[in-house]
Amino acid sequence: MQDARPIPDSIDDTLSLLSSAGYVADRALATVLYLSLKMGRPLFLEGEAGVGKTEIAKVLASSLGRKLIRLQCYEGLDVNSAVYEWNYAAQMVEIRMREAVDGGKGGEAARAELQKGVYSDRFLIRRPLLQALEGEAGAAPVLLIDELDRTDEAFEAFLLEILSDFQVTIPELGTIRAKEPPIVIITTNRTREIHDALKRRCLYHWVDYPDATREMAILKAKVPAAGEELSREIVAYVQKLRGLDLFKNPGVAETLDWASALIELDKLALDPQTVSDTIGVLLKYQDDIARIASSDGKKVLDEVKSELRAAAVAQGN
């Protein structure tokens, strides 16, 4: 792993940091990210699936040379698998060992010592949230709490202590405080509302679908093998689809997948047959696919082609 680099000094620095790592961000996102780093506040990213929320954390970790600690949330996630767990088997062995050595000498003092010995650091299994509190000065890890909306409210409430004070209280051991607060990034797909108390502790940002220019830049950075003409057609087509009022709009991730798929098929331009063969990469709902397979798809493609042609002519003049 590379050495940890300090956080950027300005919004422009943040922007160039992200782009150096291949993430094309808009100014709004860079501003929020910079503030979150500067003020030491968690960043709360909300948006549709596949707009690059998780990617921000990954890029940030790699470009700052920090460790990425990821907590994937799921229903029923509890403290035992998110924060810490005791190694019960080893604790049992420890108790038996002590018995064998001491020969079962009882008394209050021995009992207290046993408690202390069994609940010590040796038997503590550290889960992601606890690991994130152990960063060295200047090298705090990036903590990604992914898809927070998948857990329940009870877990959310538990995060409050960690996010506002960067500390965890373990009843048997005491409070563990971070020397250097981690860089926290929380993502949600909005399958349910997150409580205001948690949002209040974070800086909020809605990650939207990129506009055509930015999507073009993303495509260039991520799938350089796609030719100029193909890229332009792909972006224009996807942008059109997003305006169609579909059940699930294609995200940036889908655009990139589609571009890779078309390259694998050695395509240099879009044609109706190719689109209908590969549409499953882009759209994931049968209703949407059926709609595109019918008249809508052809219309969109024709519009894209004619607009691009018009733009090319305008440029030629």
Size of the site for other proteins (CB under 8 A): 56
Per-residue x/- mask for other proteins, residues 258 to 287, rule CB under 8 A?
-----------------------------x
- Selected from 58, 126, 199, 291, the binder of other proteins by CB under 8 A is 199
Q: For residues 143 and 36, is the Cβ–Cβ distance under 8 A?
A: no
Mark 96-125 with x for binding to other proteins (rule: CB under 8 A) and - for no binding. x-xx----x-x---xx--xx--x-------
Please tell me whether residue 38 binds other proteins under the rule CB under 8 A. yes
76 is a site residue for other proteins (CB under 8 A): yes
Nearer to other proteins, 111 or 122 (CB): 111
How many alpha carbons fall within 13 Å on the CB side of residue 285? Answer: 8
Q: How far is the CB of 18 from other proteins (least distance, A)?
A: 15
DSSP-H helix ranges across the chain: 11-20, 27-39, 53-64, 79-82, 88-102, 108-118, 128-132, 153-165, 196-200, 212-222, 228-242, 252-264, 272-282, 286-291, 297-316
Q: Beta strand 43-46 with 203-206: parallel, antiparallel or unpaired?
A: parallel
Rounded-to-integer distance, Cα 112 and Cα 183, Å: 38
* Contact predicate 73/154, CB 8 Å: no
Which residue from 203, 244, 289, 308 is in contact with other proteins, where contact means CB under 8 A?
203
CA 139 – CA 80 distance, rounded (Å): 26
Q: Which is nearer to other proteins, 64 or 194 (CB)?
A: 194
What is the x/- site pattern for other proteins, positions 141-160, by CB under 8 A?
--------xx-xxx------
236 near other proteins (CB under 8 A): no
267, with CB counted inside 10 A (0-12, 13-18, 19+), is: buried
- Nearest approach in angstroms of CB 192 to other proteins is 5
Is 24 within 8 Å of 153 (Cβ atoms)?
A: no
**95 C-beta neighbours (distance < 10 Å), count:** 13
| Only segment of 30-38, 137-145, 209-217, 265-273 that touches other proteins (CB under 8 A) | 30-38
Choose between 94 and 180: whose C-beta lies nearer to other proteins: 94
Restricted to residues 158-187, the positions that interact with other proteins (CB under 8 A) are 172
**Whole-number Cα distances in Å, 65 to 30, 57, 190:** 18, 12, 30
Residues making contact with other proteins (CB under 8 A): 10-11, 27-28, 31-32, 34-36, 38-39, 41, 44, 46, 74-78, 80, 86, 88, 91-92, 95-96, 98-99, 104, 106, 110-111, 114-115, 118, 149-150, 152-154, 172, 189-193, 196, 199-200, 203-206, 245, 247, 287
